[in-house]
Structure 1
Amino acid sequence: MAEPSRSPAAAPPETTITDLDEDSMVHCATYLSPRDVCNLAMASSGLKRLAYSDSIWQRFFSEQWHQQFPFHSSGNGAREVYLARYAALRQFKFLDPFHLDISQQAKPCNHLLLLEKSIFFSQGSLVKMIDLDAYLKGSSGFFNTLSDHKARITCMRLFPLNEVTSQFRGKTLEEQSVLVTSSCDHSIRLWWKGSSLRCFKGHNGPVLSLSNKLLGEGSSRVLASGGEDGTVRLWSLSSSGRRGQHALKATLYGHEKPVNIMSIAGHKTSLLATISRDSKVRVWDTGTATSSAVRASCCVGMTSVPGTPVNMKCHESLLYVASGSSVTIVDLRTMQKVVTAAVHQPKLCSFDAVPSKYLICTGGDGRAMLWDIRRNQQSLKPEPIAELDGHCGQVTLLYMDSYKIVTGGPKNAFVNVWDVDTGVQTNSLLCSSNDGAESGCDAMAVDGCRITTATSFEECAVVCFRDFNNATNPVAKLENESSSKFWNSISDDD
């Protein structure tokens, strides 16, 4: 007689991460970065409560700044305290940053770059490198001068080493960067570890501009350069041969005047936007350029803007062109002018943008202006949302990110720092403490909560480095100044 069939045992319920107790999950989160924890918070409401727990953010606070968490502020929540300090540091809202002045020979600094542990600047035909770690350790090898160029340097760029060549492997090497410079001696040079690895020649005149990023994807990435000869040239930085004999991949003709500025599109890495001295804008699809070709057919779009070119920036499929006294936004897909986002009379001297926040900033004579693109889309006469006053002379140096605006110029002894959302001034930094002498700012570079400025005097030039990362003394509101225009007081809780 057959035995009655038995129903299969029910499968045990699946175990998910939310079945862990809170203490275990908090312990697991200690192995994550703040960015990972923020991503975790978006997974579910339960994980969001975990990601916002005080114990996690108190640990982040102590590890990030090597300071004890201010428990008297815990009423605001540890995450809020962490984010408030993070924002305040990036807005330079402190009086006691780490401060370093390095004196050099009395020549103006034309270009300035700030890397994690290094400062690069140019004086005429010379490139100078400062190793910050070696300097702080008192090592004699902290300073290096690169003198291979024979004429004034016109542009400097830093690119990740792993994007330039696949010859080097390993995490440590991939995190390093190579320096690329262009010069009036008709050449482009690639530098690494204090020496010139390659020299690229092909322009029939001074090389005026270099692309802000490498074009293309993977191992086929190329560098674009613009010259006094009106050509755009594409170079493979990983090509063999010290003199770069095989580096030139294409020469693009079309501009009739020198090519001053270039920028790579955000939505397609093969698209290059260039503008020449006559304010003619061309867009090139460099993916169609063949080896050693002379290709005018690579040009996929043209337009023109009024006035002298000042700067240019791409975001996704939009191109922001600052020229003359206005900022024009062009749709790269149609080459149609979308909107005039700003008008800064009588003329622009500098420009930067944070398109993700719909904000742009323009520098002029005696002031800078902050603009919200959304407010001016339907307006025939754009209006700024804030005027950043208090400058002496032209604002030729302008930096902008999601937290701050930094402005300066050749007649300003200070660089001024402003809140990017409101235009409220958060700090003012003396370019140099050189025996009380006042001189303007020649060059400026900003990276997160660090800033470097260069100033020249009759007897010397001074490169000033400030790092706000471990600052503790907040800026107080200036006396006799309107709280709506200058500093906001910062409490101990912040």
Structure 2
Amino acid sequence: MGRLHARPPAPLGAPLHAHDGGVLAVAFAPDGRTLATGGEDDTVRLWDVRRADRPRPLGARLRGHTDAVTSVAFAPDGRLLATGAEDATVRLWHVDGDGTRARPAGAALTAHNESVEAVAFAPDGRTLATGSDDRTVRLWDVRDVERGDRTRPLGKELAGHRAAVRALSFAPDGRTLATGSGDHTVRLWDVSDPARAEPAGQELTGHLDTVTTVAFSPRGDALASAGYDLTARVWTLDADRAAQYVCAHTGGVLTRADWEEHLPQLPYREACGGR
């Protein structure tokens, strides 16, 4: 069999002159046909990218934010778009089925006190998470939008980070939320009941600077994080596999202290004769 040679990546078509100023956020719709961009000009734009070498803008710029748009995310069905901005608000937009038009979906979400740095939908599309420079995370029931009701936060703010929350990611099953922060840590939250969300395990330490992105593996058994310290870290969330590895490296004894040192992302349980 002949050896396969991968071609180096190359740009498709000319750059998109999307905004009057820097582009701070991009996100594809789930069907891959539409791209959303957020910019320093306080606007959001939608693009038809079915012809990747010849994308074209869809409709007018989406206006409503009064400061730079820092984050954009589509709901899993592609019919709702969330945008966060330095004006401390989140806005929701109804996107037509063909992605050609978007319109505001209710009033701005205003629970944060400082710039909103990250937005992410849960896999079932019912819950939106938002992270802010005010060091908190908020969860929102976006089904309110479909009912025509005002969208309100679910439960209390998720507090624990000591600096801005810069990254969010839901696990594939939607039961865990990961957050990355300017305090150099990653935190996990049990959001199986979004109205009663709570921390899951201890904070994950190791980064030496702001954590800018977090992402779960497709099976949800590992979490990756990366930051301004020029490193990426991978955290296992498979308790059995993690315990076996640590037991093998601790002489067959895994005490509670060992567990908390090596596996802070997982709740403690006895393993390999630990106590």
TM-score (norm 1): 0.42
> In the alignment, which residue of structure 2 is the partner of 1:271?
127
Instruction: Check the 8 A contact 1:325/1:348 in 2, yes or no.
Output: yes
Structure 2 residue 30 is the aligned partner of structure 1 residue 147: no
Change beyond 3 A, Cα 1:382–1:277: farther
> What amino acid is the match of 1:196?
P
Shift of 1:187: 0.9
Counterpart-to-counterpart distance in 1, 2:223 and 2:205: 12
Shift of 1:283: 0.1
Structure 2 residue 225 is the aligned partner of structure 1 residue 362: yes
> In the alignment, which residue of structure 2 is the partner of 1:308?
164
Name the one with the larger helix percent. 1
> What amino acid is the match of 2:235?
W
Instruction: Check the 8 A contact 1:275/1:281 in 2, yes or no.
Output: yes
Change beyond 3 A, Cα 1:154–1:357: closer
> In the alignment, which residue of structure 2 is the partner of 1:342?
204
> What amino acid is the match of 1:255?
H
RMSD between aligned alpha carbons? Answer: 3.2
> In the alignment, which residue of structure 2 is the partner of 1:256?
113
Counterpart-to-counterpart distance in 2, 1:156 and 1:264: 15
> In the alignment, which residue of structure 2 is the partner of 1:156?
26
Give 1:358-397 correspondences, 5 Å limit: 358-363=221-226, 365=229, 367-373=231-237, 374=239, 375=242, 379-382=259-262
Q: Match for 2:58 among 197, 205, 208?
A: 197
Instruction: Check the 8 A contact 2:136/2:165 in 1, yes or no.
Output: no
Counterpart-to-counterpart distance in 2, 1:158 and 1:319: 21
> What amino acid is the match of 2:27?
R
Counterpart-to-counterpart distance in 1, 2:184 and 2:71: 22
Shift of 1:366: 5.8
Change beyond 3 A, Cα 1:252–1:368: closer
Gaps of 5+ in 1: 1-66, 69-93, 103-118, 120-129, 131-142, 162-175, 385-494
Counterpart-to-counterpart distance in 2, 1:146 and 1:367: 30
Counterpart-to-counterpart distance in 1, 2:18 and 2:235: 43
> What amino acid is the match of 1:231?
T
SS in 2 for 1:144: coil
Instruction: Check the 8 A contact 2:25/2:71 in 1, yes or no.
Output: yes
Counterpart-to-counterpart distance in 2, 1:195 and 1:336: 43
Q: Match for 1:222 among 67, 72, 80?
A: 80
Q: Match for 1:181 among 22, 37, 59?
A: 37
> What amino acid is the match of 1:269?
G
> What amino acid is the match of 1:369?
R
Change beyond 3 A, Cα 1:346–1:270: same
Give 1:434-449 correspondences, 5 Å limit: none
Q: What per-residue deviation string (whole Å, max 9, x for no partner) do you get for residues 222-277 of structure 1? A: 1011111111111012299x885x444332111111110111113x3120011101
> In the alignment, which residue of structure 1 is the partner of 2:71?
209
Misfit runs of 4+, over 4 Å: 290-293
> What amino acid is the match of 1:311?
A
Counterpart-to-counterpart distance in 2, 1:317 and 1:255: 23
Change beyond 3 A, Cα 1:261–1:382: farther
SS in 1 for 2:26: strand
Give 1:419-458 correspondences, 5 Å limit: none
Counterpart-to-counterpart distance in 2, 1:97 and 1:253: 47
> What amino acid is the match of 1:280?
T
Q: Match for 1:329 among 182, 188, 205?
A: 188
Structure 2 residue 6 is the aligned partner of structure 1 residue 97: yes
Shift of 1:300: 4.0
Instruction: Check the 8 A contact 1:154/1:208 in 2, yes or no.
Output: yes
> What amino acid is the match of 1:286?
V
Change beyond 3 A, Cα 1:148–1:95: closer
Shift of 1:327: 1.8
Shift of 1:355: 6.5
Instruction: Check the 8 A contact 2:42/2:67 in 1, yes or no.
Output: yes
> In the alignment, which residue of structure 1 is the partner of 2:91?
233
The structure that has the greater radius of gyration is 1
Alignment length, in residue pairs? Answer: 231
Q: What per-residue deviation string (whole Å, max 9, x for no partner) do you get for residues 426-475 of structure 1? A: xxxxxxxxxxxxxxxxxxxxxxxxxxxxxxxxxxxxxxxxxxxxxxxxxx
